[in-house]
A and B are shown apart, each in its own frame.
Chain A
Amino acid sequence: MKTMRRSIILAIVLAVTAAPAAAFAQQDTGGRDATTTSTVTDERDHRLLDELKARALQMIDHQLDALGRLRSAIGNSAHITDDHAVQLLGDISAAAADLEQLAREVEAATTVPEVWQLIRQIPGFQIGNVLAPKTHQVIASDSLVAFGGKLDRFAAKLEGLITRAEENGHDVDEAWRMLEDMNGQIAEGVRSADPVAESVIGLQADDWPDPAQSVLGAGRRDLHAAGQSLRVAFGTGKGIVEILRNLFDAASDV
């Protein structure tokens, strides 16, 4: 009887002590799960944020590299005018400063949407659509005009040589006719190339797509036409040299 009473008391004690413990144990396990889930989500967000930031900074670096190449193209051009170089370098420096500011904002961003919003600003610089083509067109325009000037001096030299040949009794009618053609071709080339620089140099990112697209398209066409005219003029000049060479060779053979 005594043993039986002792067993009942033990059972009650066990029941009283074990139930809350089990409840606590259950409660404890549930809390740990929530913490783990929360940590994983944070890590994933951080990783996504970091990846997005790295991607944004990479895109900005890519644009800054393009600006660096434009600076080099201007620096390496022997024919760009000082005024044009100063104006273009000013545009490039301004774009670079804005991109560097954007990079600082990306680094300081704390949320993914914030970074996305900054990334969406990068194409707005229109470096590939406006700044790069206008820089190349200005350099080409100035270079073609310089080439036209050199061809002008070449034509003047040929004129002197034709005159000398004529004074020595040679028939130089064909050479005179070709020289007239050459001068016309040079003038046409310079007339096409010269205005392009001024027409495109003022274009800004905000001008894309209109009017930048049509202005740059027209500039490209005019520069190609100018290149063609000046190439023909140079070919005509070489033809005149051949005529003179034949005349003088024939004279020295006599």
Chain B
Amino acid sequence: MREGNHMERRSAVGLVTTLLLVAACGPSGGETAATTSTTSPAATTTAVITADTTSPTVMVTSSTTTAAPKQEAATTTTSPAPPRNLDEELSEFDDLEGFLDELDDMLGNL
């Protein structure tokens, strides 16, 4: 009987602890966990509470996920690639040659 009570007390404490954890995370807890998972390889616990309005019982399910290792590309600065087409990069200056010819004509008529 004492052992049964002890089991009940442990379950109640576990449930309360879980509820407190969920309450502490709040609605943004999932986001925090998700953010953490992208930046840290540590395992996190996400709790989802489903409330049944017709029943006084609160069902709590929990799952454990392990975040993927942090990607190096996200933090390392890479050198810009050389231009694929230099002529294309400089196309806005294509008219400089014609402009210069125009100036030569102008200066020749002074």
Contact = CB atoms under 8 A, between A and B. Distances in A.
A233 to B, nearest CB: 10
A140 B82 contact: no
Interface residues of B, number: 21
Interface string B63-88: 00000000000000001111100100
A234 B86 contact: no
Interface string A134-150: 00110110011001001
B1 interface: no
B42 interface: no
Nearest to A169: B79
A234 B96 contact: yes
Contact of A168 (B79, B92, B100, B109): B79
Contact of B86 (A136, A154, A167, A245): A245
A133 interface: yes
Given A150-B96, A241-B90, A227 B107 contact: yes
B24 interface: no
Contacts of A154: 90, 93, 96
Nearest to B80: A164
B106 A139 contact: yes
A147 B82 contact: no
B79 A167 contact: yes
Contact of A227 (B82, B86, B104, B109): B104
Contacts, number: 69
A231 B100 CA distance: 7
Sorting the interface of chain A by its residue count into under 10, 10 to 19, 20 to 34 or 35 or more gives: 20 to 34
A157 B90 contact: yes
Interface in A211-242: 220, 223-224, 227, 230-231, 234, 241
Contacts of A248: 82-83, 86
A157 B93 CA distance: 10
A204 B82 CA distance: 56
Given A157-B93, A164-B80, A168-B82, A224 B99 contact: no
Interface of A: 133, 136-137, 139-140, 143-144, 147, 150-151, 153-154, 157, 161, 164-165, 167-169, 220, 223-224, 227, 230-231, 234, 241, 244-245, 247-248, 251-252
Given A147-B103, A151-B96, 20 more contacts: A133-B110, A136-B106, A136-B109, A140-B106, A140-B107, A143-B102, A153-B93, A154-B93, A154-B96, A161-B83, A161-B86, A164-B83, A168-B79, A168-B81, A223-B110, A224-B107, A227-B103, A227-B104, A241-B86, A251-B82
15 contacts: A137-B110, A139-B106, A140-B103, A140-B106, A143-B106, A150-B96, A161-B83, A161-B86, A167-B79, A168-B82, A223-B107, A224-B110, A227-B103, A234-B97, A252-B82
